[in-house]
Structure 1
Amino acid sequence: MYAALITGTETVELREFPDPVPADRGVVVDIAFCGICGTDIHAYQSGREYNPAICGHEWSGTVSAIGSDVKRIDEGDRVVVSIAAACGACSACRQGQSGYCQQAFLSAVGRDALAPPHGGFASRIAVAADRVTRTDSGLTDEQAAQVEPATVAFHAVRNSALRLGDVAVIQGGGPIGLGTMQWVRAGGAGNVIVVEPNPQRRELATRLGAHHAVEPGSAADELIKELTHGLGADIVYECVGRGFAVQSAVDLARRGGAMCLVGLPHEEAPITVGTWLVKEIRTTSSLAYVREEFEMAMGMIADGRVQVEPMHSSTVGLDGFEAALADLASGTSDQIKVLVDPNL
């Protein structure tokens, strides 16, 4: 069996692995689709070494084998990868901070005891049984493979300072930005603006419910001033994942406004501290999600409140994975969410 791994700057390798077998508390999943994430793109651009299981962490599939101690999942179940539930025993859980469970976090970053030596860019994968959730019957496998990034966006909005009626700005019209925009709409924002340089992504943002979609720079500055009578946005979500965009998010916010960091830059982020102080910016940040949010997000995708299928722009096989990464990393791609079908 072969799996695709990012092994260095602009370097992808197809490595051979033995066919996986389930641990006593594990399952083997036959992968249907695995999404290419912004984390994968950053790793490809920078050569930064991530835990192997992170390369391809947005997958859906069908359980083909279960371990002897697995009770809640059966062979033949359609499943999607998620984060482990809080353990209830670590220091964070014992202090009532189950949302920051240390064991669940290790599963999110591919460092749990049953973490596989590769991610979902493979035909099969063996993982801990508590890492998978049964797929909502209302979802296709393509939709299910996009639940994980949609839940990342859901967690960010749920943890942010969003209030009913807010003027909200989302920087970036990629999968996370477009997901964030839809959750912001669902959360009761009064006016939602997406700032994105790509015209195709701006058009899709409008189709998915943004009130306005505008280019970054003076066009965005002027529109936001016009909509807020010169005050600035109530809240800005930074979903670009580039260092320069952190300060621009604060620049677009009003005094007393809020900024939520969602994108993860792989470079340093220069900021003007005086602006943050003068504006008294309230800041939240977001990484991954908690298990309960996964179920909540999946249900709202299944009932149509949030749409992921319009973001799915193409599907490639393992042999097309590197070319798709290079295109997405170019900064000029018209692709939004590329799914990898390892069975092509």
Structure 2
Amino acid sequence: MRAVVMQDRQVRLTELPEPVPGEGEVLVEVLACGICGSDLHCAQHGAEFNASIRAAHGVDVLDLDRPIVFGHEFVGQAVAYGPGTTGRVPIGGRVVSVPHLVRPDQPFLGFSGPETPGGYAERMVLSEELLLEVPDHVATEEAALTEPLAVAYHAVVRADLRPDDVPLVVGCGPIGLAIIAVLRMRGVGPIVAADFSVERRRLAESLGADLIVHPAQTSPYEVWKEAAASADGQPTAASGTSGTQLRPTVAFECVGVPGVIQQIVLGSPERSRIVVAGLCMTPDSFEPAQALVKELDLRFAFMYSPGEFARVFEHLVKGEFHIAPLITRTIGLDEVPEAFANLSSSPSDAKVLIVPGR
């Protein structure tokens, strides 16, 4: 089968043996798979990513001595069942799944080798017990957004949102845009969104952001504070020692570039919550004294639980997300190396989907 592999920071199209489903597993044809920012980061900073995970959990996620088949945002079509399965999803049925296999070593699909490829391949194996069947009325392209929406959903959960919170989304790349979609689905607002790219600001607006800010022209923090000022003269929360009365404020850092956390610390109203969802692969720093005197809450969000993945899929099936603008381009496997070269500097792309059969 055809597949895209990453090795030695190079992404290339090649041919691999078709994976064989083991006990309790199903072989699927990949219908669509999103390119995630973490794929781009790991291609260029795999050693740094391993070092961070090793320091936190004592393991390496990536085996950088072998080819890696990326792709953890996928939709597949059941092709064949392995031993010990029930066949509960008919052959030809479409499925999504959390990107893990139920094996003793629990391979993380999209970050493993050719034997357990991710969605940058024509076929892959999944664990039957983790499958969620995609109903006929849900488009394949939208189903492929389940995983990135689950990441955004978890970030919003980490914020402990209250009904009167005013959110600021800093950075309108794929994760920031997905967070906007989740916030809109949750009925939170007004949503303030900031990005230097005019194309991404337009995408933020189309996904439901209420106030769009060009940071080079206007301070997103001033717009955020103005949005948090009570409209009826009856504020819901006092902003600490400053005396300014504001609704509660929560910021989502979705850039992953050194210095952004400190900018948010400096610009945030007192007692704000800050959720870091951007993946920064290099050391960073901020001024703890500034966060302390403002009594800021600094939180980090990574991945999601299987339950959150299932809840996001349920919302998607019910049509409760407005997410179509997230998908800006579809490509074939042969176009992936060029897409990797261009995505880091492309202001017009949000979620690029790989369609292996294209």
Q: Same fold (TM over 0.5)?
A: yes
C-alpha contact 1:225 1:231 (8 A) present in aligned 2: no
Q: Is 1:61–2:60 an aligned residue pair?
A: no
Residues 1:336 and 2:350 aligned together: yes
Deviation at 1:288, TM superposition (A): 1.4
Larger displacement relative to structure 2 (152-161 or 73-82)? 73-82
Counterpart secondary structure, 1:292: helix
Q: Report deviation, 1:14.
A: 2.3
Q: Output the CA distance in 2 between the equivalents of 1:284 and 1:321.
A: 34
In 2, are the aligned partners of 1:53 and 1:117 still within 8 Å (CA)? no
Question: After the TM superposition, which residues 78-89 of structure 1 pair with which residues of structure 2 at under 5 Å, given as runs?
Answer: 78-83=94-99
2:138 corresponds to 1:139: yes
Q: Please state how far the C-alpha of 1:204 moved relative to its aligned partner.
A: 1.7
For residue 273 of structure 1, report the CA deviation from its aligned partner: 1.4
Instruction: Name which of 253, 257, 264 aligns with 1:249.
Output: 264
Which residue number in structure 2 is paired with residue 182 of structure 1? Answer: 181
Question: 1:191 is paired with a residue of what secondary structure?
Answer: coil
Match of 1:163 in 2: 162
CA gap 1:283/1:219 in 2 versus in 1, 3 angstroms: closer
Kept in 1, the 8 Å contact 2:73–2:119? The answer is: yes
Amino acid at match of 1:334: S
**Offset at 1:53?**
6.2
Deviations 1:27-57 (A, max 9, x none): 1110011100011111233354735667111
Aligned pair partner of 2:306 in 291, 294, 299:
291
Which TM-score applies when normalising by structure 1? 0.85
Q: CA RMSD in A?
A: 2.7
Aligned length: 325
Out of 259, 262, 265, the residue aligned to residue 274 of structure 2 is 259
Cα distance in 2 for residues equivalent to 1:246 and 1:138: 41
Answer whether contact 2:207 2:323 (CA < 8 A) is retained: no
CA, structure 1 residues 271+185, in 2 after alignment: closer, same or farther (shift >3 Å)? same
1:8 shift after superposition? 3.0
Partner amino acid, structure 1, of 2:351: K
Corresponding residue for 2:3? 3
Secondary structure of 1:254's aligned partner = coil
1:326 correspondence with 2:325: no
CA distance in 1, matches of 2:174, 2:303: 14
Offset at 1:67? Answer: 1.3
Instruction: Give the distance between the partners of 2:104 and 2:262, measured in 1 at CA.
Output: 31
Q: Which runs of 5+ in 1 are unaligned?
A: 88-102
Using the TM superposition, name which of 224-233 and 262-271 deviates more.
224-233
> Residues 206-221 of structure 1: matches in 2 within 5 Å?
206-217=205-216, 218-221=218-221
Partner of 1:91: none
Aligned to 1:194, the other structure's residue is in SS state strand
CA contact (8 A) 2:70 2:110 kept: no
Q: How does 1:190-205 map to 2 (within 5 A)?
A: 190-205=189-204
TM-score, length basis structure 2: 0.82
Give distance in 2, aligned partners of 1:146 and 1:8.
Answer: 28
Cross-structure match for 2:23: 24
The match for 2:92 is 76
> 2:54 matched to which residue of 1?
none
Structure 2 unaligned spans of 5+ = 51-61, 230-243
For the residue of structure 2 that corresponds to 1:120, the secondary structure is coil
Alpha-carbon displacement from aligned partner over 1:204-234 (angstroms, at most 9, x marks no partner): 2112211111123543233224334567871
Q: 1:154-195, CA deviations, whole angstroms, 9 ceiling, x for partnerless residues?
A: 111123221112111011112211111122233342321011
Pairing 1:235–2:261 present = no
Offset of residue 146 of structure 1: 1.1
Specify the code of the residue in structure 2 equivalent to 1:170. Answer: V
Give 1:279 shift.
1.6
Equivalent-residue separation in structure 2 for 1:266 and 1:60 (angstroms) = 28
Give the secondary structure class of the aligned counterpart of 1:70: coil
Larger mean Cα displacement after TM superposition, 51-60 or 167-176: 51-60
**Counterpart Cα distance in 2 of 1:45 and 1:193:** 31
Query: SS where residue 271 of structure 2 aligns?
Result: strand
Structure-2 residue corresponding to 1:95: none
Change (3 A) 1:133 1:270: same
Matched, 1:307 2:322: yes
In the TM superposition, what is the alpha-carbon distance from 1:23 to its structure 2 partner? Answer: 0.5
**Mean Cα displacement is larger for which, 223-232 or 161-170?**
223-232
Distance 1:142 1:188, change over 3 A: closer
Residues 266 and 84 from structure 1, CA distance in 2 versus in 1: closer, same or farther, beyond 3 angstroms?
A: same
CA contact under 8 A between 1:327 and 1:333: conserved in structure 2? no
Instruction: Return the alpha-carbon distance in structure 1 between the equivalents of residues 83 and 115 of structure 2.
Output: 18
Q: Does the residue aligned with 2:78 lie in a helix, a strand or coil?
A: strand
Rounded to whole Å, the distance in 2 between the matches of 1:130 and 1:254 is 46
Moved more, 49-58 or 306-315: 49-58
The share of aligned pairs that are identical, in percent, is 31
8 Å CA contact 1:66–1:74 kept in 2: the answer is no
2:26 equivalent to 1:33: no
Q: Decide whether the 8 Å contact of 1:79 with 1:134 is kept in 2.
A: yes
Give the 3-state SS of the residue equivalent to 1:256 in structure 2. coil
Structure 1 residues 262-307: Cα deviation after superposition (integer angstroms, max 9, x where no partner): 1211112221111221122123322211222222212222333212
Which residue of the partner structure matches residue 278 of structure 1? 293
Structure 1 residue 255 displacement after superposition = 1.2
